[in-house]
């Protein structure tokens, strides 16, 4: 995770993606943001998992394509619910960001990070747990900055068109050899 973020900073990747957006009408039509944001890091409280603290030390509330991490002031506990509106006992969870309409959730007891879709039943999914990683570092390295990025909105078979093939962030990840 750290090496990939440090490489993005050295390459001035934010500016590169902004340049691409300004020079490509299709990019501008389909996306209203530059797809990458790496603000200056901040120190998080020791009560939060080490992986989350390491990420925020590098870059506070970053954005990687459709994944937007919240400011640490905006983390909030959010009960997870099933299709019947019943609370799922998923542990001591904290919502730390968004993947469009879905939540990026951290289990404080296990350090597991997952994307949870509260409308999973409307999207034809069997469960709200779209994607799961054992740690923040794994999530950032393999999902936000890696080959699992195309699965952030659910399995490929749930999509009529492969949105990830035209996503400028995923294209850039492939160019860098991250995906």
Distance separating alpha carbons of residues 118 and 114, to the nearest angstrom: 12
Residue 38 has pLDDT above 90, yes or no: yes
Q: Domain range holding 128? A: 2-176
- The number of domains in the chain is 1
Q: What's the mean pLDDT in 44-71?
A: 96
What's the confidence (pLDDT) of residue 123? 73
Q: Are 131 and 150 within 8 A, CB to CB?
A: no
**Mean pLDDT score, 160-173:** 92
CA proximity to 56, closest of 32, 74, 78: 74
The pTM for the full model equals 0.91
Q: What pLDDT, on a 0 to 100 scale, did the predictor assign at position 112? A: 95
Q: What is the dihedral of CA 110, 136, 159, 173, to 10 degrees?
A: -160
97 contacts 68 by C-beta, under 8 angstroms: yes
Confidence of residue 25 (pLDDT cuts 50, 70, 90): low
* Residue length of the chain: 179
User: Concatenated DSSP letters for 114-146?
Assistant: EEE-TTTTTTT-SSSEEEEESSHHHHIIIIITS
Q: What angle do CA 5, 164, 159 make, to 5 degrees?
A: 140
Q: Where residue 57 falls among pLDDT bands split at 50, 70, 90? A: very high
Stretch 18-47: mean pLDDT: 81
The pLDDT tens digits of the residues spanning 73-99 come to 999 998 888 888 888 876 789 999 999
**What is residue 29's predicted lDDT score, i.e. its pLDDT?**
62
Check residue 138 and give its pLDDT.
98
Digit-coded pLDDT (tens) for 134-153: 999 999 999 999 999 999 99
Average the pLDDT over 40-59 and give the result: 96
């Amino acid at each position: 995770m750290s090496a990939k973020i440090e490489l993005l900073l050295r390459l001035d990747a934010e500016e590169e993606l902004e340049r691409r957006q300004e020079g490509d009408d299709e990019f501008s039509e389909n996306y209203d943001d530059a797809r990458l944001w790496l603000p200056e890091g901040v120190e998080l409280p020791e009560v939060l998992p080490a992986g989350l603290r390491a990420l925020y030390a590098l870059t506070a509330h970053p954005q990687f394509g459709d994944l937007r991490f919240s400011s640490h002031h905006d983390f909030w506990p959010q009960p997870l619910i099933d299709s019947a509106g019943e609370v799922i006992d998923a542990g001591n969870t904290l919502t730390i960001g968004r993947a469009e309409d879905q939540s990026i959730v951290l289990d404080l007891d296990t350090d597991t990070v997952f994307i949870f879709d509260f409308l999973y039943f409307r999207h034809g999914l069997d469960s709200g747990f779209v994607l799961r990683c054992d740690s923040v570092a794994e999530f950032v390295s393999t999902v936000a900055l890696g080959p699992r990025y195309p699965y952030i909105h659910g399995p490929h078979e749930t999509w009529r068109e492969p949105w990830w093939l035209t996503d400028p962030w995923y294209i850039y990840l492939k160019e860098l050899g991250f995906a």
